[in-house]
């Protein structure tokens, strides 16, 4: 989470991860965090749809931030992906992957829920 680290620590951890043969996902949830990580050498970003100051979850966080990213960045959208329409919307604006947690954990049949989201 970009919000938890200062610029020097972020850069150090990104470089260390690459040196260890790992890849990096930088997580942001607002424009200030995205501005903070701009210019850092990462290839993937997770956009968390939860505003940690209000705890409100809103898909417009992804729709707003994704337009600020270079096309070559792989985008993961996190949270509040509840139905096929949400998946379609996020895909249509350029999200490459989805982090699904509570939605699957609370489903009676997680496999069916997953199929419903992506069918």
The CATH number given to whatever domain includes residue 44 is: 3.20.20.70
Write down the pLDDT at residue 103.
84
What's the number of domains the chain is made of? 1
- Give the per-residue pLDDT at 3: 86
pTM to 2 decimal places? 0.91
Parent domain of 96: 2-110
Q: What is the pLDDT of residue 102?
A: 85
Q: Is residue 7 part of a domain?
A: yes
Residue 119 located in a structural domain:
no
Q: How many CB atoms neighbour CB 75 within 10 A?
A: 20
User: Domain for residue 62, yes or no?
Assistant: yes
Residue 115 lies in a domain: no
Is residue 68 in a domain? yes
Could you read off the pLDDT tens digit of each residue along the chain, which spans 119 residues?
788 999 999 999 999 999 999 999 999 999 999 999 999 999 999 999 998 888 899 999 999 999 999 999 999 999 889 999 999 999 999 999 999 988 889 999 999 999 999 98
Give residue 86's pLDDT.
Answer: 95
């Amino acid at each position: 989470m970009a919000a938890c680290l200062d610029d020097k620590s972020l850069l150090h951890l990104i470089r260390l991860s690459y040196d260890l043969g790992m890849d990096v996902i930088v997580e942001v949830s607002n424009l200030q965090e995205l501005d903070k990580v701009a210019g850092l050498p990462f290839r993937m970003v997770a956009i968390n749809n939860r505003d940690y100051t209000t705890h409100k979850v809103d898909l417009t966080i992804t729709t707003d931030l994704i337009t600020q990213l270079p096309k070559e960045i792989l985008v993961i959208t996190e949270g509040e992906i509840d139905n096929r329409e949400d998946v379609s919307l996020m895909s249509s604006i350029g999200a490459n992957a989805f982090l699904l947690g509570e939605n699957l954990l609370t489903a009676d049949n997680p496999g069916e829920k997953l199929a419903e989201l992506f069918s």
